Amino acid sequence: MKKDIHPPIAKKVPKKLVAHNDVRIDNYFWLNDRDNPDVIDYLNAENAYTKHKMKHTEQFQQDLFEEMKARIKEDDESVPYKLNGYWYITKYETGKDYPIYTRKKEVLEAQEEVLFDCNEMAKGFAYFKLGGIAISSDNTLAVFSVDTVSRRQYTLQVKNLVTGKVYPDKIENTTGSATWANDNKTIFYTRKDEVTLRSHKIFKHKLHSNVEDEEVFYEADETFNTFVYKTKSNKYIVIGSASTLTSEYRFVNADTPDQEFKVFQERIRELDYAIAHYDDSFYIITNADGATNFKVLKTNETQTEKIFWEDVLPHRAHVLIEDIEIFNDYLVVSERENGLNNIRIMSWDGKEDYYLPFDSETYTASTGNNPDFNSEFLRYSYNSLTNPSSVIDYYFKTKEKVVKKEQEVLGGQFNKENYSSKRVWATARDGVKVPISMVYKKDLELNGETPLLLYAYGSYGSTIDPYFSTIRLSLLDRGFIYAIAHIRGGEYLGRDWYENGKLLTKMNTFYDFIDCSKFLISEGYTSNKHLYAYGGSAGGLLMGAIINLNPELYNGVLSAVPFVDVVTTMLDDTIPLTTGEYDEWGNPNNEEYYNYMKSYSPYDNVEAKAYPNMLVTTGLHDSQVQYWEPAKWVAKLRDLKTDQNLLLFHIDMDAGHGGASGRFESLKEVALEYAFLLDLEGIANK
């Protein structure tokens, strides 16, 4: 029997951090230097320790990986969509990790033209990601982007689709998206700040020109990011600039890209709006004039200031407007009411106004790729916790639904009739009802012995809808309940649901998750010996907060790329994303916000007490949450925790925030996470 090894102990190098006359001592601040060999040695030691402690599950991890991979259709392709005379298709081939982008001219029977084979492009790279692809108006050129580090800093290049030649010019450090003017030679793109990675400048590039790229817009406000795109009508190039609460747009005719951009509506603090162009008008989704859940307005393209905006769809207190899709004869509105997605069809002549019918409380529906105003159908997607994803074409005139594709679950074991899903409501400590979506095998006995994995995110107004997952079946088939807590901080129950889970109400996010956990235990779905929690990024912050507040509720916790050193990060405006986050978390240079975020910041509130079993994951090149946040957190937990429970830290030394880039490589981390959970339940050999 091999001797057990001790967990790595990070050295302490006390650093005094002072703000508002408050002193914090950070013993592990030194870990934020990835060029320091001692840091790399420590991270490698953590990986070695995790590998050692999980060694007895290695075969099980491999089995889980193969099981999850076997459910995925390897030779797969997307439903084609038509744009400017070509059908575009993304496909995968058996045994290959990366997508292949193709197109066919006019008819689907035409010869296939391979635009990009990412399997060839990825050779020689530990990480590879193809970002945006934009096709010129004459269909002969494509501007594309590549990231081979996983820092979300993309390099742009142009490919001649007639000759197959990739032009040698490279544009570094971009967001990965670019758009063509209608002259087929002018490209607009967004550059990032080298240090903070903030998207802050829009440039104009002239193909085959020795002229230096021209900066056409600089976003000076450090709390804003900027971006550029072309309208669906192809008439305008639009530059958007947005913070958490405020937005602003400017536009120029795509036929005359060298003219000055015109401001659509100057920014007003907390005026949030988005624009779409059709015919001679712009359509606006906005929270103007107290429309908390947004409303739809329109204005003539020559008079775009707010004073000219006219109502199309008024604000409703209990219905959140999330998006619109415009067609020649119809306006399609994506709404959310009582947490549920609705797709509303409204004819411009006023004769029709109805909703597509959905009959579940645990489903996700959203409009898909609809690039053509003249289309006779709306393309949308539908799935639920028990139903694989479908791509559906809905024909406006006949009201016929045609399922173009339903996700195949291979392996011969899956039957959706074998699973149950439902939505229940927990009562939070302030009396608010918090919804929980859950799924499990129909024959599962629900009691205190039932293992349950509770997932949540709860930040930025990002809503986690109940969605189908083939990967998740590996837990469900082994007796787990999987549940999603729709906590405040997301927009599941509207914009107010978000507003009451941010800034000085952020504690609601953590309390909601804890109260959902207590509800699931009290209702007999599970017990604290079999309850597990999972969250990533800002959801990793959630994990850190709940285990400081109520560690006794959970047997195990998965915390992926966790944002846990809130105060130090938010005080450092050189760290990517920091300044743009002030409207989400608060600016700690203000003492009130400093004290509030210090009260919940996981790293600042680690105590000498017992914590659950934990698996923490990160990527060395993460641009969203720097690797040193979880590294410091784990080091401090190791020093202070009083239990003998597992504390494992896995660092992907090649990847960033999204994990491994290959289609199947990412499953290996899921296999590790699932093996960790199942091993704690004593079912690591089934």
Which residues, in sequence order, are bridge partners of residue 236?
Answer: 253
> Of 150, 69, 49, 60, which Cα lies nearest the Cα of 672?
60
Residues 6+ apart with CB under 8 A from 300: 280, 281, 282, 308
Same domain, residue pair 673 and 568: yes
| Spatial distance between the Cα atoms of 101 and 115, rounded to a whole number of angstroms | 5
Q: Is residue 290 part of a domain?
A: yes
Whether residue 358 is found in the same domain as residue 224: no
547 and 463 in a common domain: yes
In this structure, the answer to whether residues 443 and 540 fall within a common structural domain is yes
State the Cα–Cα distance between residues 139 and 83, nearest whole angstrom. Answer: 10
pLDDT of the residue at 1: 42
- Single residue among 317, 351, 379 that ends a domain in this structure: 317
- Closest of 298, 299, 333 to residue 319, by C-alpha: 333
The reply to whether 403 and 435 lie within a common domain is no
Q: Please indicate, yes or no, whether residues 261 and 279 belong to a single structural domain of this protein.
A: no
Residues 657 and 671 in one domain: yes
Within a domain: 507: yes
The pair of three-digit structure tokens given for residue 512, joined into one six-digit string: 């909601």
Which amino acid, residue 618? T
**In this predicted model, what pLDDT tens digit does every residue of 126-135 receive, in sequence order?**
888 898 899 9
**CATH number, domain with residue 428:** 3.40.50.1820
- With cut-offs at 50, 70 and 90, classify the pLDDT of residue 31: very high
Q: Each residue of 59-107: pLDDT tens digit?
A: 999 999 999 999 998 899 999 999 999 999 999 999 888 999 999 999 9
The number of folded domains in the chain is: 4
Residue 564 lies in a domain: yes
d(CA 607, CA 586): 25
Q: How many CB atoms lie within 10 A of CB 225?
A: 21
Among the candidates 381, 411, 441, a domain finishes at: 411
Q: What are the CA-CA distances from residue 142 to residues 159, 166, 228, 504 (Å)? A: 5, 9, 17, 46
CA atoms within 13 A on the CB side of 639: 16
**Quick check: helix, strand or coil at residue 279?**
coil
How far apart CA 373 and CA 394 sit, in angstroms, is 15
Write out pLDDT tens, residues 180-206. Answer: 999 999 999 999 988 888 899 999 999
In three-state form (DSSP H/G/I as H, E/B as E, the rest C), the secondary structure along 529-576 is: CCEEEEEECHHHHHHHHHHHHCHHHCCEEEEECCCCCHHHHHHCCCCC
**Residue 503, phi-psi category: left (phi > 0), alpha (psi -120 to 50), beta (remainder):** left
**Same-domain pairing of 589 and 626:** yes
Q: Spell out the residues 6+ positions from residue 392 whose beta carbon is closer than 8 angstroms to its own.
A: 379, 380, 381, 382, 401, 402, 403, 404
Tell me whether residue 602 is in a domain: yes
Cβ-Cβ contacts under 8 Å for 445 (sequence gap 6 or more): none
pLDDT at 686: 63
For residue 663, what pLDDT band results from cuts at 50, 70 and 90? confident
Cβ contact 202:195 at 8 Å: no
Q: Cα(188)–Cα(182) distance, rounded to whole angstroms?
A: 11
**Domain shared by 497 and 552, yes or no:** yes
In the predicted model, what is the mean pLDDT of residues 481-490? 98
- State whether 594 and 648 are in the same domain: yes
- Residues 6+ away with beta carbon under 8 Å from 313: 295, 296, 321, 331, 333, 346
Q: For residue 99, tell me if it sits in a domain.
A: no
The mean per-residue pLDDT over the stretch 207-212 comes to: 85
Is residue 14 assigned to a domain? no
Closest-CA residue to 509 (of 488, 491, 493, 495):
488
Does residue 115 fall inside a structural domain?
A: no
Can you tell me the mean pLDDT for 481-486? 98
For residue 297, give every residue at least 6 positions away whose Cβ sits within 8 Å of its Cβ, in sequence order, or none.
Answer: 283, 284, 286, 288, 309, 310, 311, 312
Extract the tokens encoding 161: 């689709």
Residues 673 and 630 in one domain: yes
250: nearest Cα among 312, 176, 184, 188? 188
Please check whether residues 632 and 533 belong to one and the same domain. yes
pLDDT of residue 2: 52
Q: What is the pLDDT of residue 644?
A: 96
Catalytic residue list: 537, 622, 657
Burial of 397 (0-12, 13-18, 19+ CB in 10 A): exposed
Distance CA 276, CA 229 (A): 11
Rounded to whole angstroms, the Cα distance separating 475 from 231 reads 43
Query: Mean pLDDT across the stretch 269-295?
Result: 97
Provide the domain limits for residue 428. 25-67+421-680
pLDDT of residue 3: 64
